[in-house]
Amino acid sequence: MGAALSLLDVGLTSHLQRQLWQGSPINDPDSDIVSSGYRTLDLVLPGAGWMPGSVTELLIEESGVGEIRLLARALRELTVHKGRSVIFVAPPWKPNLTAFRAMNIAVNKLVWVKASEDQTLWAAEQSLKQEGIGAVLIWLPEVRPEALRRLQVAAQEAKSLAFLFRPLKAARQSSAAPLRMVCKPILPANAQTMNRREWMQAVMLEIDIIKRRGPLLDKPLQLSLPLQLPALPEHIRRAHLGRKAREVKHVVDSGDIAAFIARSSQAALDALGIGEFDFASSNIDE
């Protein structure tokens, strides 16, 4: 396929999901549902969690707004407690094992598929066909409606989680994905009085569900996804923690939040010589 598999040694060795939904699609839990790890989010997700056998679209303005931290608890459940593999197809960054370990995700259950844009859909479909797969995360900026239908069918057949990352402009387009969510970072109210570290801890993620089985939300959710340094070497960690609380102030426009987070994460990673990733803590419950 011209795509390369990487990230540790992972062993990888396909009946349509039920088509008829009965009763309330919001309050009809399924034993295969995977909790998001956030109570307020689970309450508005069909089945009270992430639904296997369907594509979930996450529409983001730029990679790094918190989309991986949003999924981190589900990925931990899949890799640690269920012993299933998670495949990343064509992510725009190099996966960072240090960050995954900091989120208590089993890195030996992760697979990184490097694929060009014209190979991404095929690679995602093939990934969903593998045995032992818990979730497939796919980055596909441009995709035709018929391709989305193919991906949805592949997810139904596999009964695995499928998360598709697309730009915000795709919200105006039709999609076969049963669940579509617009994810935007939110500035804290007192951002102008915060230094960079405080600001990054306080940034929240606004989630607007624009398509789901059941009625739409009255208003978007707001989730707290604090950004923390992962398990960095001790001397780097001490250097960060030793800075005075008001040493440096950063004021940014809401349109620049994602780029700011990405640059800040990259600065820490450059010190380690590893790739950029979306850091997170794993002990916050909403």
Structure-block tokens of residue 262: 């990405």
Q: What is the pLDDT of residue 194?
A: 74
* Measured distance CA(175)–CA(134) in Å, rounded: 23
Tokens describing residue 131 = 């045995």
pLDDT band at 7 (very low <50, low <70, confident <90, very high): very low
Q: How many other C-beta atoms lie within 10 A of the C-beta of residue 251? A: 10
106-137 pLDDT per residue, tens: 999 999 999 988 899 999 999 999 989 999 99
Q: Residue 51: is it exposed, middle or buried by C-beta count within 10 angstroms (0-12/13-18/19+)?
A: buried
Q: What residues contact residue 33 under an 8 Å CB cut-off, 6+ apart?
A: 47, 48, 49, 50, 51, 52
Architecture of the domain whose range is 31-270 = 3-Layer(aba) Sandwich (3.40)
Residue 31: count other Cβ atoms within 10 Å of its Cβ.
Answer: 5
Q: What is the pTM of this model?
A: 0.71
Question: According to the model, what pLDDT value does residue 195 have?
Answer: 72
Q: Which amino acid is at 35?
A: S
Cα 163 to the center of its chain, rounded Å = 7
CA-nearest of 186, 172, 174, 169 to 252 is 186
Between 258 and 226, name the one with better pLDDT.
Answer: 226
Tell which wins on pLDDT, 18 or 56: 56
pLDDT tens per residue, range 36-83: 999 999 999 999 999 999 999 999 988 888 899 899 999 999 999 999
